[in-house]
Every structure is written in C-alpha cells, then in structure tokens.
Structure 1
Amino acid sequence: MKLGTIIAATLLCCSALTAQAENMKMAVTTSFHNSGLADVLLPEIEADLGLEVQLLVVGTGQALRLGEAGDVDAILVHSKASEEKFVAAGYGTHRREIMYNDFVFIGPSEDPAQIKEAQSATQALGLIAEVQAPFVSRGDDSGTHKKELSLWAAAGVDAEQRDVAWYKEAGAGMGASLNTASGLNAYIMSDRASWLKFGNKGALALLYAGDPDLFNQYAYLPVNPAKHPHVKADLAQKLETWLVSPRAQALIDGYTLEGGRLFTFNAQ
C-alpha cells in the first residue's frame, strides 16, 4: 500500500473517531422523556450534527441542580421562574424557549368531584379538596409539581388542608405517578403529552383542560462555562441552533399521538 494511501486511511479513521467522540450531556424532565419526543429527536440530531446527546432524565428541580453543579452541559425544563433564577445566578448563559404543550387534569371517569363543570383550574382543585377525593401529586420538585403547588396556593388550599388521607405524594416521575393514580383511581395533574403516551389508563379520563394557567412552556438553558469551564459550551450552542431550526420545528410539530399534537414549536 502506498504511503499516501496509508496516511489518507489513517486520517479518515481519526476523523471517524473524532466524530464518534462528539457527545454532550443534557438534563431533561421526565415528562419530556415520557412523551416519546426524545426518541424522535435524538437520532435526527445525531444524524444531522454527528452529536450524541446523553440524557439525564430527572425532575426540573434536580435538572437545575445538575446544571448548578456543572454535571451537564445544558438542560431542557419547564418551570420559568426557576429557570430565570438559574440564569440570574449565573449558572446558565441564557434561557431559550423551544416548545410548549399544556397541563391537564386526569381523574376517575365518574368524576366524583365534578371537575368537568369547573370554570378554572383553581376551581377544579378546590372541588377536589372540598370532597377530599384521592389526588396523586408527583411530589418530586419537578416543573409539574411546582406548577401544581402554585395552583393549589391560588385555589386557597394550603399544605395543612391537603391531608395525607386523600392527598398522596408519589415522589416520582410523571409515568410512575400516573401509574399510582391509575391504581388508586385518583385525580392527578399531568402534562398532555405524558397522558397521551401513557398506556395504563385504567378507569381514568381527561376531565379538565383549557385554562390559560395550564400553559406549559419548555426552555433550553446552556450551562455557563464561566462557572464550569469543563462544560461543552460549543456543543451546547450547536444543539441549540438545531433545536430552533426549521428542521426541529417540523419534527416537533409533526409528532402526534391519537390524532393529537403533543408539542407546539415556538422558538424565536
């Protein structure tokens, strides 16, 4: 074999190894992962960018803590107030909105609290508390849990009123919490995507949706290399550029289940 051919082959091999070494870590919410959208996006990201995105699937609170510790290169979560604090404290370089869906209230199809008749999300929770119908909370400091607690507060139902006899904290992700609600035939607040993807619905049904307060925005936050010089800021930027592209928009808006769109792209 000629020397030039050997050198070319070696360079090609090194190039392939370099391409395979392109990887980064991103913390994402369990609701995003449970929706199945990650299974759609990740192979396309790898094909388009040669970038393997390794997911750490946790609640929003834990995802933010991973970012604060510099254990991931970026996060994709859904709790705006917490995200803004993360950026303001210098842990994230910025916050970029990517897509949204909504929260919904799930419960027993017979609907003992009659939340189908509610005029607002807070009224629905008030009705559940009034009859002390079983309610499962994620109880895991996730974005969904944070939102649920803010709605209870707006409904005037404090922690003492949420008695353990009917208010159950699962301390788990969305899928596991939905399983608990199905087993107890209880009410639960879920993001719409996780509910549509959930396969163990039992006697549960989607009973209430549509309040603007149930809007659920997902945002991308690169971890700040000024805080953690080891993070792969260049790859985080590469991924962000892809996530806000027409390519990503087509995949996100095109992801449907049971005839319904699970997420709506709204990146600017």
Structure 2
Amino acid sequence: MNGLLKPRLVPRKTGPLVEWAAFREPTYVLFCCGCFFYFWALYFGFFYINSFARYVIGFSSTSSNNLLLITNAVGIPARPVFGWIADTFVGPVNMFLVLVLCVTTRGLINDLTRRTGKRACAVTLCVGGLLYAWIGIRDRAGMYAFSAVYGIAASASQGMFVSSLASLTKDPSKMGIRFGMVCTILAFATLAGPPTAGAIIDRAGGRYVFAQIWGGAVMLLCFLMVAAARVWGTGLKLLVWC
C-alpha cells in the first residue's frame, strides 16, 4: 500500500543550518537575547522550590516534593488556555510579555507583609510578583500559593515562546531555521541557569534571597529585550495584535 502513495508536498532542498542574515535583524536579535535571559532564570524555581520549602519553611521531604508536582500539574491546563487567549485577543508576543512580567515584578512584598500582617500567600496572589515575591514567603500557605501561581505563569509563558517567534518572523519559510537557531542559543542558558542559582546560594551561605533577586532581575531583562523587539517590529502602538 505504501508503494502506491506519493507525498503531498513537492520535495524541496534542505535549508541551511544557520541563517546569518537573521542576526542583522534587530527584532530577531532582541528576541533571542530576551529569551536567553528568560530561560536562564526560568528553571531556578523548578529546581529549588522544594529545597527552599524543606530548609527554609520546614516542609518534610514528601511535602516539598508535592510542591514540585503542583507546579508542573497546574501548567497542563494553563498552556492551552493562555494560548487561546493570546490567539484570540492580544497576540502571542503581548501575552508572553505579560506572563514574563508576572514572573518578575515584586511589589514590595516584605514591606507589605510587615505593615499589614497578612500572609505572604495573599500578597503573592494579589501582586503576582513571583520570583521577587518568593523573597517574602515565610509560611506553608505561601509556598503552596507560590508553587501554583508560578507553575501557571512559567508554563504558559513557555508555550508563548514559540508562537511569539512565529509572530515576529515575516517569512514563514524561515521559521524552522530560526527556531532551531534560537533553541541552540537557549540550550546554553537552560543548562547554566540552575547551576548559576546554586552557586549564588552557596556563596551566600545557604540563603536564597540573592538568588531570588538574581532570578527576578534576569527576568526583567528578558521583559525589556522582548518589549524592545515588539516595539521595533510594530512601533509604539500599544493596542496592536502581535
């Protein structure tokens, strides 16, 4: 039966592994730099959420592992839901920026916690400043809230990364090459992120605050780079699908 079939598409020559001309496009270069920072800090939370809960908050080994399960589980429905919202209403780049900012912004968590006496989990949910808000978490409820909200924002933003690149690529025939190029760059950031955070924690004598500040600052750099790529591609129009 297979011998009677023929391919639907006309075979084409294999393209180059690297499109050097892409690195002369500011939009693509800014997006690559932004995503490098994004993946550099992204897995810091996934790698260290259980150790933070165990050594700082006082979770048991089993309970701290449950936090990691929660972080990954909530991301399963988050990806298609936020993907649909982006495709229908705002565009993938705009949604990616919103989600990255959610993983970044702090909102003076420590000051609010001290002044109002409210639990850090409530502040985390209201402000949405996850890597910086992590600094203010001091109880079990806050850890559960953080793991859930971080899982949603981190997983949804990972889903937006590919569609954002597609939205910024004007020639669809170059999408495959450019995606492979950016993934090659991001591989180094992904590998370097958790060891970088671990080295910062070790240098700080086991304290996580400096690693949390590093993660938030790196995510903020990602936001600025991707925002610059969006502005370069679409101009200063705020309400535009991109």
Structure holding more strand per residue: 1
- Answer with 1 or 2: which has the greater Rg: 1
Q: TM-score, normalised by structure 2?
A: 0.31
Q: TM-score, normalised by structure 1?
A: 0.29
